[in-house]
Amino acid sequence: MRFEPPLEAGRLVRRYKRFLADVLTDDGELLCIHCPNTGSMRNCMVEGGRVWFQRSSDPRRKLSATWELAETPQGRMACINTARANGLVEEALYAGVIAELRGFDALRREVPFGQENSRVDFRLQFGDVFTFVEVKSVTLGFDENNVAAFPDAVTQRGSRHLRELAALARAGTRAVQLYCVQLSGIEAVRPAGEIDPAYATALRQARDAGVEVLAYGVRVSPEGLSVSGPLAVVDGEAAAFCRR
């Protein structure tokens, strides 16, 4: 996935009102741009830090540009645009990069499912058999052994999706929770139980019900993004859920 038009660079002045960010471009222009991330963006940005954004020529837009990348306080590169995750995973699915999900015959996005009025990101069809895949974008990273964490804020929606996947797995349908780690220098992913203990519990229960828990890393650069390869998924005590 290449950035078209190309990204421009600057420094973050501040993020505020959740969806707004002020950026000082390298050319000295002060811009208010769209922040496409509903999370806390904890450990994913720092005021004065390097950022990259994409301008839009659409006259209907209220804001002229969208924030895409940030250099984290740990010196990693992060794609903070969570909407990119599904497009990246779809590219990787069609390219056969995600080994566990190769060989499907058909793919549908945003399919209604479950008992709690949910939508799954992808429904893959293998012959007459369906596989349901829920994608989560991961950008929260600390200095602890290159392990990323999810979520970066309490997510009732995320827990609901895990319950829905667990119900599918118990009924004999293949269900997958896939973490798309849009953060460089990461080797594993864990649930952020210190931020959302209910989500960490829901993940363990989903795994125990038969949900497959996968994580894949992403190459992040101002030129573009691409899914790289599998990562380990570990629990909060670094005991493996599964190893890749």
In tens, the pLDDT along 79-125 reads: 999 999 999 999 999 999 999 999 999 999 999 998 888 999 999 99
> How many domains is the chain built from?
2
The closest alpha carbon to 216, from 165, 174, 177, belongs to 177
Global confidence as pTM: 0.93
Do 111 and 48 lie in one domain? The reply is no
Q: Exposed (0-12), middle (13-18) or buried (19+): which is 120, by Cβ within 10 Å?
A: buried
Using DSSP's 3-state secondary structure scheme, residue 178 falls into strand
What are 8's two structure tokens?
Answer: 């421009």
The last residue of one of the domains, among 74, 109, 124, is 74
Residue 1 belongs to some domain of the structure = no
Helix-helix angle 156-170:197-209, to 10 degrees: 10
162: left (phi over 0), alpha (psi -120 to 50) or beta: alpha
Q: Does residue 79 lie in a domain region?
A: no
Query: Considering only CA atoms, which of 81, 44, 86, 240 is closest in space to residue 178?
Result: 86
For 173, phi then psi, to 5°, come to: -95, 135
Same domain, 112 and 59: no
Share of the chain above pLDDT 90, in %: 88
Tokens 């996005």 found at? 109
* Segments of the chain scoring below 50 in pLDDT: 237-244
CATH number at residue 105: 3.40.1350.60
Within this chain, do residues 32 and 116 fall inside the same structural domain, yes or no?
no
Domain that holds residue 47: 8-74
